[in-house]
Amino acid sequence: STPSPSLAPTSSTRGAAPPSRASPSPTPSSRAGTPTPARSPRRAPSTRPHLPVSPSSLATATSHKSTGNAHFKLGRFGDATAAYSLALDALPAQWLGRVPLLNNRAQARLRSGEEKRAAEDCAEAVRILLPTGGGGEVDLDLGALEADGAALAPEVVALYAPGGGAAPLDLKDQLGKALGRRAKALEALEKWGAARDDWERVLRCGDEAVLRGAGGAKMVGEGVARCRKVLDPPAAAASSGAGPSS
């Protein structure tokens, strides 16, 4: 969060020697002599509809999520995938709280060699995060994600920050994870054009949280370069400064 600007009080200057021309007063005042605080830009409110989740469904999803995380840490990716699937089965479609579970299951499926299913999980996550433009060549609406992140439903907070954490879910980070993991899956499936599009969308948005979620600027840049090398070898070689092979 952005801290409020600190404002020093302005003292009266009546009767005092006028300041020199080279040293103007640094603190502007309003007509009443009171400093005018700087206004931070107002964030648009979230327009995402609320989808209710019952306490029993939430408890089921929480239990399976924890089981899936434990399996993943032990390298049991098939068991992790099954547990994440059970957690997702307990939650409504298009619910924002599905996104981290979809990203987790995609990661487990990537580790198991299930690239096609991993790409499908990531595609669902992107559709939930960007319901009006997740599939086409459009700019990422990060402002809407910030608004959604600032107004998370209590059920989402309960699922990912049961102790009442201040920031249970970074939606821009989750978007980066979905796009980056889908790009990896598409590369494994040799769908180089679609993979390049995902890497480039992350790189083009230039947002630190999205880049971090996708693996960092270095990984994203390398992904773009790999895809371009396959799709257009001469252009890729020219851009890298490499000479023709003998």
Q: What is the pLDDT along the chain (246 residues), one digit of tens a residue?
A: 444 433 334 333 444 444 444 444 444 444 445 444 444 445 566 778 888 999 999 999 999 999 999 999 999 999 999 999 999 999 999 999 999 999 999 999 999 999 999 999 999 999 999 986 544 445 577 888 999 998 899 999 999 987 655 557 899 999 999 999 999 999 999 999 999 999 999 999 989 999 999 999 999 999 999 999 999 877 655 655 554 443
Output the pLDDT for position 240: 58
Dmax over CA atoms of the chain, in Å, equals: 85
Residue 161 has which token pair? 């920050």
pLDDT at position 38, please? 44
Angle at 153 between CA 152 and CA 159, to 5 degrees: 95
In angstroms, the Cα distances linking 103 to 30, 156, 199 are: 51, 15, 16
Copy the structure tokens of residue 236: 């890729």
The model carries a pTM of 0.76
Give the pLDDT score at 42: 55
Tell me how far CA of residue 86 lies from CA of 54, 80, 171, 180, 210, in angstroms. Answer: 16, 10, 22, 24, 28
Contact 75, 97 (CB under 8 A): no
Question: Residue 203's pLDDT is what?
Answer: 93
* Chain segment 54-82, per-residue pLDDT in tens: 999 999 999 999 999 999 999 999 999 99
Q: Chain-centre distance of CA 108, in angstroms?
A: 19
What's residue 48's pLDDT? 85
- Look at residues 187, 43, 55 and name the one whose alpha carbon lies nearest to residue 118: 187
